[in-house]
Amino acid sequence: MKDSPAHGNPRWRSEVGIFSSLRVRLLLVVFVAFLPMWITLIREVDQRRQEALQRILSDSLNAAELAAVREEQAIEVTAQTLRAMARAVSSSTARCEVLADLAWDAMASSDRYLHFGLASSTGRILCRVQKVATPEAVSHKMWIHRNGAGGKLSIFYYRIPAIHRPALLVATPLEPVPDVPRAFLFASIDISRLARSSLPGKWAGDPTILFALVDESGTLAARRPDQRDLADALNRTLTDLGAGSKAVVRVIRDPSGAFWVCSRAPIHGRSQNAALGVLLAVPKDHVFQDVNTTRIRGLLAILTVTALALIIAWIMGGRVLWTPLTHLVDATDQIASGDLTVRSRLSERRDELGLLARAFNTMAAALEKREQDHLHAQETIRQNEQRLRRLGIHLQQIREEEQKRLAMEIHDDIGQILTALRFDLSWIRNHTATENPEKFQGRIARMFSLLDNGMESVHRLCGQLRPRILDDLGLAEAIRWQAEEFAKRTGIDCDTQGVDPVDLPTEHALALFRILQESLTNVARHAGARRVEVRMSAEIGEIRLVVRDDGRGIDPEACADPGAYGLMSMRERAAALGGSFHAVRHPDGGTVAEARLPLPSTASRENRTSKESST
């Protein structure tokens, strides 16, 4: 008993498909086991994206509304300042001087103010205090005419051509004074300054978030200086937000295909004819930045865990499944190749593969025992066959000896009696020739004929029982004599020119002679031949006898017929001496019967000859 080798089976990969391999299937099972985790992560990320989107929609709208409130508060502060200045200017006769003092103080305290001015009811500027150049009149602004008779504060957004920047005009009428033309006090607020100062703290300083002021048409009125590109990208699509007195939030797409979460909150102030609003635009990538980070981290974590699980499954699958199964396949192949002593070393395992290995070892042991029993039975059969052959040879020898003895007794006893009887008949014929010769001569002639036939039969029987020529002159002469007798009896020409004289033991010579007799008998009975050739020659280690006829040829089925006793007896005679016999149809016609017997060694031949001599 020996263990199977540990090397891999070369046909394992060629006969087992990729997806049919248990190792690959194990990897697929591990991967499928992680699929729910992947699906859960994807669904969780999608849910978080929706939550983040809803949260950013709400936060951006709240931030826009908060910024609008701050803008409103800034405008309200300006309006309060302007009303206080209007009261001071109205009570003074030197309006422009008082306005100049108050305006410079206000502009020094805050950089949001661009200029202050006093205008007539027709819009002609009476006096002004400014940091930059301003137009000479504002009469083209319709709000002056709509609000000229009222006492409410009016605000209006417009772009002053001389300033070249967005500004918000806040105006209030002066209190009427007798004999003094009615006038308005106005101030301009730098909207870009409002845009820079009103962004909530959560969004402040983020260059990716656009914070701007828009007018009623959706056109950007003010923005931070560093956000020109963002403003240009969104300026064409802001009209989708519409106008109105309510805050709105929408997801819009700019011409480049990027998505933005845009919130618009109107700045109401104290006049409803102004349509200025606060715009907060957050890029969608910024919305999902935290979610994408979480998703990437989750994907990397699950990918790492999955990869580690697959690597572990591959390694453990090789150690737990691949290597043991390869070992069992190798052991099975060795069993199939005839090595029944192989055993699996996995039988000590306490798992299913160990159970399979123990079953395999049990099977191998049973096969080995059965093979040993079979070999033992074959050896017994071989020994019995040898005993039977020796017994057959012994029986043949006994029979041949008995036939020889009978032939000698028939020849010596009956032959002598018949010879003596013939002499007596000759004497009677000589002495009765004078007495009624015709009567006695005819009877005596018939008696001589019967005696001659009897003596010929005795000689033929003696030759068949044991040809004396085989003992006296050898096998070659016995074959020639048998061929002549066959030709005389059947009329079939028998050629023996290829018979070489060979010195053989008695049992070999007798076996070949009997095979020749049986072959010639078959030719006479079945072949329908006109000519027979007999060849005998000694070759390397064996003697070869060939009998060929030109008849109809032997039937192949007759060779395998168990009832063909003649062929069977010739095979048995040859096999008893370790030789062989076969008869086949020749391609050119006729039958070829060939017997081969091994030539005994010289020493064994001398021993056999000495035994025969002593016998």
CATH number at residue 571: 3.30.565.10
- Tens-place pLDDT, residues 490-500: 888 888 888 88
Q: How far apart are CA 608 and CA 613, in angstroms?
A: 9
pLDDT of residue 222: 66
Asked if the structure places residue 381 within a domain, the reply is no
Angle formed by the axes of helices 565-576 and 506-522, to 10°? 160
CATH at 140 = 3.30.450.20
Asked if the structure places residue 388 within a domain, the reply is no
- Residue 530 belongs to what domain range? 473-615
Which of 306, 333, 355 is the endpoint of a domain? 306
Query: What does the H/E/C string look like for 511-559?
Result: HHHHHHHHHHHHHHHHHCCCEEEEEEEEECCEEEEEEEECCCCCCHHHH
Which of 290, 306, 322 is the endpoint of a domain? 306
| Least confidently predicted of 196-205, 214-223, 545-554, 595-604 | 196-205
High-pLDDT (> 70) share of the chain, % = 64
In one-letter notation, the amino acid at residue 585 is: R
Q: How far apart are CA 267 and CA 247, in angstroms?
A: 10
Asked if the structure places residue 27 within a domain, the reply is yes
Name the β-bridge partners of 260: 252, 283
| Least confidently predicted of 71-80, 192-201, 491-500 | 192-201
pTM of the predicted structure, to 2 decimals = 0.44
Residues near 2 by beta carbon (within 8 Å), at least 6 away in sequence: 341, 342, 343
Which of 284, 306, 328 is the endpoint of a domain? 306
Asked if the structure places residue 41 within a domain, the reply is yes
Give the residue from 104, 128, 248, 232 showing the smallest Cα distance to 184.
128
- pLDDT: is 282 or 4 the higher one? 282
- Tens-place pLDDT, residues 125-134: 788 887 655 5
Q: How far apart are CA 190 and CA 200, in angstroms?
A: 19
pLDDT of residue 204: 65
pLDDT, mean of residues 450-456: 70
- pLDDT: is 466 or 56 the higher one? 56
Residues near 590 by beta carbon (within 8 Å), at least 6 away in sequence: 527, 529, 548, 549, 550, 551, 552, 553
Asked if the structure places residue 91 within a domain, the reply is yes
Residues near 219 by beta carbon (within 8 Å), at least 6 away in sequence: 235, 238
- pLDDT: is 147 or 182 the higher one? 182
Query: What does the H/E/C string look like for 279-307?
Result: EEEEEHHHHCHHHHHHHHHHHHHHHHHHH
Domains identified in the chain, total number? 2
Asked if the structure places residue 401 within a domain, the reply is no
Asked if the structure places residue 13 within a domain, the reply is no
pLDDT of residue 152: 45
Asked if the structure places residue 332 within a domain, the reply is no
